[in-house]
Amino acid sequence: MGPSNQDVFRGWRRPGPRPPGGVEPGEDETLDFHCGSFRIFQAARGHRYSTDDLLVAWWGVGNAPRVDRLLDLGSGIGSVAMAAAWKLPAARVVTVEAQAISSALARKSVRYNGLEERFRLVEGDFRDPALLAGEPPFDLVLGAPPYFEKGAATEARHPQAIPARFTLRGGIGAYAEAARRALAPGGRFAFVWPVLREGEAREALRTAGFVLLARRDVVFREGEPSLVALFAAARAEDLPASLAAAAGFPRVEPPLVVRRADGRHTLEYAAVRLSMGFPPGDLAPRSVA
């Protein structure tokens, strides 16, 4: 049997299994493609998944030695966790999200994609240590914290989008503390954070007892400054003391450029997308000799 119309998008065939479905979007909700044939429920005028979500999942998976158990802090609608789960089909996933509307959307997506046996969705404030009491430790903890303090930028109109942009329940320091409590020996904490506030991230990691292993700037358009960076860290006690003192440490990778100056996606970002089950994006046509 050949592929259906939904299996192919502009010549790109979706990898991975078809989800069982059986869940329909409600009023003011959309059901959109995610990784492979996975789909995600989103508020039509609320918070939508972004390039940052895809990149933190890709970066975390690529920096973790192995992943049996995955934790996503402040997980929103589940876009980061679902991307990582698609890439790691045997991993068990726990998400923590405080906002009821986002949690409800994530539950619908988990059910639609047939992930109920692999996912545990916890609704609550991840700063509470009791929230995950009894959970075995995690090999990988992911986070896409909100970037702005209250009053630092224009607030979104939709109430669901406000916590995704503004710090209401703790910033990068709270994420680092929660990650430290949850990590298994040798595990990794990976997150995305604004370049202009990198000092806060480094201080949060130091205070929580982490060693920064790697970072990478993300340039959204060629020729423009980097706005965010990807970070990967491990607990200090899991590493030899000499590592942090090594020349050229932490490892700083070349900037990842998302779009060229003409607005088309770069080949490197296309490769990232393909590796995570997304179509390659808008690429320039091949030149004809």
pTM higher than 0.85, yes or no? yes
Q: 191-209, pLDDT tens digit by residue?
A: 999 999 999 999 999 999 9
Q: Of residues 150 and 37, which shows the higher confidence score?
A: 37
pLDDT band at 166 (very low <50, low <70, confident <90, very high): very low
Q: Give the model's pLDDT for residue 280.
A: 96
Which residues, in sequence order, are CB contacts of 237 under 8 Å at separation 6+? 209
pLDDT band at 164 (very low <50, low <70, confident <90, very high): very low
Upper half-sphere CA count for residue 268 (Cβ side, 13 Å): 13
Type of residue at 176: A
Token code pair at residue 194: 């604004």
Asked if pLDDT for residue 31 goes beyond 60, the answer is: yes
Q: Give the model's pLDDT for residue 284.
A: 73
Q: How many CB atoms lie within 10 A of CB 202?
A: 18
CA distance 92 to 20: 19
pLDDT band at 148 (very low <50, low <70, confident <90, very high): low
- Closest Cα to residue 196, out of 167, 221, 229? 229
Residues 261-273 have a mean pLDDT of 97
Residues 134-155 have a mean pLDDT of 80
Q: Of residues 93 and 6, which shows the higher confidence score?
A: 93
Asked if pLDDT for residue 243 goes beyond 60, the answer is: yes
- Tell me yes or no: is domain 17-236+251-275 CATH 1.10.3210.10: no
Q: Of residues 265 and 4, which shows the higher confidence score?
A: 265
Q: Of residues 172 and 169, which shows the higher confidence score?
A: 172
pLDDT band at 29 (very low <50, low <70, confident <90, very high): very high
Contact 30, 180 (CB under 8 A): no
- DSSP one-letter string for the chain: -PPPGGGEETTEEPPSPPP-------TTEEEEE-STT-EEEEETTS----HHHHHHHHHHHHH-S--SEEEEET-TTSHHHHHHHHH-TT-EEEEEE--HHHHHHHHHHHHHTT-TTTEEEEES-TT-GGGGTTPPPEEEEEE----B-TTSSPPPSSTTTHHHHB-SS--HHHHHHHHHHHEEEEEEEEEEEEGGGHHHHHHHHHHTTEEEEEEEEEESSTTSPP-EEEEEEEEGGGS-HHHHTSTT-SEEEEEEE-B-TTSPBPHHHHHHHHHTT----S-PPPPP-
Contact 278, 35 (CB under 8 A): yes
The domain locations on the chain are: 17-236+251-275
Q: Give the model's pLDDT for residue 259.
A: 97
Q: 69-109, pLDDT tens digit by residue?
A: 999 999 999 999 999 999 999 999 999 999 999 999 999 99
Q: Give the model's pLDDT for residue 247.
A: 80
Asked if pLDDT for residue 152 goes beyond 70, the answer is: no
Q: Give the model's pLDDT for residue 12.
A: 96
Asked if pLDDT for residue 155 goes beyond 80, the answer is: no
Q: Give the model's pLDDT for residue 245.
A: 83
- Closest Cα to residue 213, out of 193, 196, 236, 192? 236
Q: Of 1-15, 90-104, 134-148, give the lowest mean pLDDT range.
A: 1-15
CA distance 150 to 163: 10
CA distance 78 to 200: 25
